[in-house]
Amino acid sequence: MATHRQSNSNTRRFAAATVAAASVAVLTPGFASAAEVNIPNTGIAVEVPGIENVPGIESIPGIEQWIPSLQGSTYANTDVQSTIDQVRAMPGSSAIPGFQDFLDSAAQDVAPANTPAVTQAAAAMQPAVAPVASTGQAIVDAARSKLGAPYAWGATGPNAFDCSGLTTWAYQQAGKNIPRTSGAQASAGMNVPLDQLQPGDIIAYYSGASHVGIYTGNGTIIDALNSGTPVAERPLHYMPIHSAVRF
């Protein structure tokens, strides 16, 4: 604990010395006013006159951490990048430890929003491109191509399947390799909430994840159920759900 207190003390002395050397007013620790910038985790506030008057400063992501007085303020700003540039150019702001790095990070966060949009006229000139099926949809399409195939314990296709044999085979058709058995598939995949299911997710059933099927995206699954029952599409909740996973 003693080492931690010494580290915080050193941080404060370094920040104060850096700012003071640049002839910027260093204020005693406390709540910042509208013209003050707080250096996070140091308790030091630096006065930068007029910084609160930069139009749209409230829209810079995370600015409240540095200027607490802006907390709760709103501003409809369509050019945050320009605002960041104005704040960066404020006299004294470059001497505040870490502030320029924060502004650089904020500029990266908003950069995609400032990418010029393609006009409707330009878009109309582009040739139409056929949509590419997602990996999940490719998995569903592969499984659906085997509707009616017979069930056979231990079979992995292409003419007969057991439950995990069907999921393994369908994933392979989409270029993905997954564990062979239902329990291993349920354990290895990334758990997915049922309200966030996507086509191609694997649904495991029963308490031991002893059965699996492929979610189609339409509230149904495709599975190889048991002996005497061919591969079919059936309701998602046809059996007790153990979990849902994504690879």
Residue 51 domain flag: yes
- Distance CA(100)–CA(87), nearest Å, equals 9
| Per-residue pLDDT tens digits of the chain, which is 247 residues long | 444 444 455 545 544 444 544 444 554 444 444 568 888 777 888 888 888 888 888 888 888 888 888 877 766 666 888 888 998 888 888 888 888 888 888 888 777 644 455 555 555 565 555 445 689 999 999 999 999 999 999 999 999 999 999 999 999 999 999 999 999 999 999 999 999 999 999 999 998 999 999 999 989 999 999 999 999 999 999 999 999 999 9
Q: Is residue 128 part of a domain?
A: no
Q: Single out the residue of 183, 170, 187 nearest to residue 223, CA to CA.
A: 170
Nearest Cα residue to 42 out of 2, 93, 7, 8: 8
Q: Considering its fold, how many domains does the chain have in total?
A: 2
Write down the pLDDT at residue 22. 46
* pTM of the complete model: 0.49
Residues 108 and 139 in one domain: no
Q: What is the CATH number of the domain that holds 195?
A: 3.90.1720.10
